[in-house]
Copies of this chain bind each other. A is one copy, B any other.
Amino acid sequence: MPDLYDVAAIGNAIVDVIAPADDAFLAANSLDKGAMMLVDQAQSQALYAKMAAGVETSGGSAGNTIAGVASYGGKAAYLGKVADDPLGKVFAHDMRAVGAHFDTVPLVGGKATAVSMINVTPDGQRTMCTFLGASVEFTDADVDKDVIEGAKIVYLEGYLFDAEPARRAFAKAAALAHGSGRMIALTLSDGFVVERHRAGLMGFIEGQVDLLFANDSEIRALFQTDDFDTAVEALRPHVKLAAVTRGAAGSVVLSQGERLSVKAEAVQKVVDTTGAGDQYAAGFMFGLSRGRPLQQCGQLGSLAAAEVISHYGPRPLVSLKDLAAAKGY
């Protein structure tokens, strides 16, 4: 199979509703700052009614990553389930408008397109409540063989471990990718996802994953430790390649026993951390797919993360390709 894409991703296709909030609002609504909480439709409506006026924008962790890969000039494809409704059309439009391939058949006559309500506090932290809607109806029937076999890296979003049909889709994608000599990447997505599926994720990592993305709290949740370095050392024997992010402290790349440190890119003001991890993964995978050294892959990740946290919204507002050129990467 020829190289059709640098990166193809499978994720929950979600539209974000982003609004400002204060810590008192998080406390009053029992929201855990920085985390992602799943809500049902009734909870979703009740929370929305209390939120401030907001802005709607296409999101979803892997969708944001694909937008980042495309912004770097990479060839990208996305697989994910929206509904045949106005927000689903917005999601599809935005994915295609960045130049990514997106052709998953929308859900007709079922649940609405997934929505994530993102409350952003003055410290720039984002706290998410997600109604998964149509996105969990993604099944192995939606795994497009040509896309998976034609992508240098197939990127899977840990959030999908919450849905049994999506886990089967993961298994199918991994089998197709490895059958074609492709690389499987996984992001752990969220500390609570790790808590819910520790054993399943660990088995998948050891059996199928060639490249793991995680942040500080996610690997600490995976190994049930409060200490970052303990978690990194615990992870080392389980992975071929991994990149672990820790906000302003940069990231750590583990490769075949080697451990690299990558600095975070300086940011004037952190406005909204939504999408930081997603964009790090975008930069790292773009670099890897183009054969860049691992240190530079990490730097491309840091650069994309810095761009996205300096403004509202989870996707780049400027060309990451231009930013990288200006840096000489």
Interfacial residues, chain A to chain B (CB-CB below 8 A): 17, 19, 48-49, 51-58, 67, 85-87, 90, 93-95, 97-98, 112-113, 313, 315
What B residues does A48 contact at CB under 8 A? 93
Give A97 Cβ to nearest chain B Cβ, in Å: 4
What B residues does A55 contact at CB under 8 A? 55-57, 313
B53 close to A315 (CB less than 8 A): yes
Known contacts A86-B112, A93-B48, A112-B86; is-contact A98 B53 (Cβ 8 Å): yes
* CA of A93 to CA of B56, assembled, Å: 12
Contact of A86 among B57, B86, B95, B315 (CB under 8 A): B86
* Pairs A-B, 4 closest by C-beta atoms: A56-B56, A53-B94, A53-B97, A55-B57
B57 close to A56 (CB less than 8 A): yes
List 29 contacting pairs A-B, 8 Å CB cutoff, sorted by A: A17-B90, A19-B97, A48-B93, A49-B93, A51-B93, A51-B97, A52-B97, A53-B58, A53-B67, A53-B93, A53-B95, A53-B97, A53-B98, A53-B315, A54-B93, A54-B94, A54-B97, A55-B55, A55-B56, A55-B57, A55-B313, A56-B56, A56-B57, A56-B90, A85-B86, A86-B86, A86-B87, A86-B112, A86-B113
CB closest chain-B residue, reference A88: B86
Give A5 Cβ to nearest chain B Cβ, in Å: 18
